[in-house]
Amino acid sequence: MPLFQRILVANRGEIALRVIRTAQEMGIETVAVYSDADRNALHVRRASHAVHIGGSKPAESYLDIGKIIAAARSAGADAIHPGYGFLSENEDFSQACLDHKIEFLGPPPAAILAMGDKVEARKIAQKAGVPLVPGLQEDVDEPRLKAAALQVGYPVMLKAAAGGGGKGIRIVRDESQLLEAFHMARAEAKGAFGDDRVYLEKFVTRPRHVEIQVLADKHGNVVSYGERECSVQRRHQKLVEESPCAALTPAIRKAMGDAACQLARAVGYVGAGTVEFLFSGGRFYFLEMNTRLQVEHPVTEMRFGVDLVREQIRIGAGEKLAPVPEPRGHAIEVRVNAEDPENYFPSLGLITRLSLPGGPGVRLDSALFRGLEVTPFYDSMLAKLVVWGEDRAQAIARCQRALRELRIVGVATSLPVALRTLASDEFQGGDYDTGILERIPKKAAASRRELAMLAAAAARFLVQERAGARSAEATAAASITPRWGLLGRAERLRRTGR
């Protein structure tokens, strides 16, 4: 008998599809929920059942606790998987599942509440003996601001107490910037989380962002599944993740894993969670705990040969943790976002052509298909490309090859940023930090041969398009890059000679 009869997935896109697949492998029926914008989405088509829950805006659908619970009850679901984002770290949602006797495949409300408030999380971490970045644990107000900053010492970082996803954060390098940054951080925190409290901590120079994956069952057992390096970020949001971290020694890796498990025990954690740290100068400091499955969880799955969603379902059903297998090789994940690769502005449109990568050690988590409309209502992430190699060098080469195979036509994507990052000396050497993207040139100079090839491809494409040809050669030429990018670059070549 399956552990549950029917699981509702309170999410959309690739994470909904990913949960549905694991549940189906376990013999469990699945229920998809969808908004107006997602009527034709893949997760709706793949689930055993689907329930419409409202308008395209998240507040009208995926963020409406009442509608999600009503959908679960009407569909006869005995468990809910929240995915990530939306209601995944909402203690009221966890409590609502509890109240309606539906198993929430995540932590209990008290753990979400404790770790969701960054000020409270720092206090708990300190009591549990987890190292902290120097700073003030309580939220600061304007009258105490200058004295607090001087006490901690510049540069400092202002952070939203209820924050997450890189919102409500400001770096302040001297007193002249302090007041303006404080008001901006509070305003952004209020808009994003409905809570304008901010706290202050020391800004760690050249930090690496390293996180530990933990699992905890209902019997008090907590284990660590190693670390993920997440230092390639834009606007405090991750773009490239890898495991293991090249900077950690075995002793530091063990200490970091032990600290993460201590924190999970301290809050009575259940399920999958991630404890994030800053690492600098051979020391690590607690940053925050994400009380959900992370976007980058496939990196851990590839190294450890584990299905973390399956483990979440097993834990929710009351089973004990499985033994942690030995990690093997190296894994890298690249997030592919619908955004301008030069300024990171969102890109909207219709995906008209699509070519997906394959080969040994390559995994693509996505809900992409030809004809998919990329709308302004949801996060810009389109897919996650994950690769595994015997060592880091093979994983990087494999990731570069797979990224070049991936073609998405119709919207601009972050693929050029990922390729530039993986090709950079800093990333290749493994000695990088959270400022790496600021140091990589936005546009690498193209060789004369590359420019000639682009111009020739554009010319061939124009001839074939006008003739109405749909040969394999035409398809290959068109898939080199989105049409506007290919023809635009060729036109610049013709006009400027460069």
Residues facing 395 on adjacent strands: none
Residue 470 falls in the annotated catalytic set? no
DSSP string, 250-277: HHHHHHHHHHHHHHHHHTT--EEEEEEE
Classified as helix, coil or strand, 447 is: coil
Q: How far apart are CA 172 and CA 185, in angstroms?
A: 11
Q: What are phi and psi of 227, to 5 degrees?
A: -115, 160
Q: Which amino acid is at 85?
A: G
Q: What is the DSSP string of 225-251?
A: EEEEEEEEEETTEEEEEEES-TT--HH
Cα separation, 289 vs 268, in Å, equals 13
- Using an 8 Å Cβ cutoff, are 482 and 410 in contact? yes
Nearest residue to 439 via CA among 240, 174, 232, 238? 232
Q: What 8-state DSSP symbol labels residue 342?
A: T
Q: Which of 6, 292, 314, 407 is catalytic?
A: 292
Please list, in sequence order, all residues whose beta carbon lies within 8 angstroms of the beta carbon of residue 471, skipping any fewer than 6 positions away. 464
How far is Cα 314 from Cα 312, in angstroms, rounded to an integer?
Answer: 5
Indicate which residues carry an active-site annotation.
Answer: 292
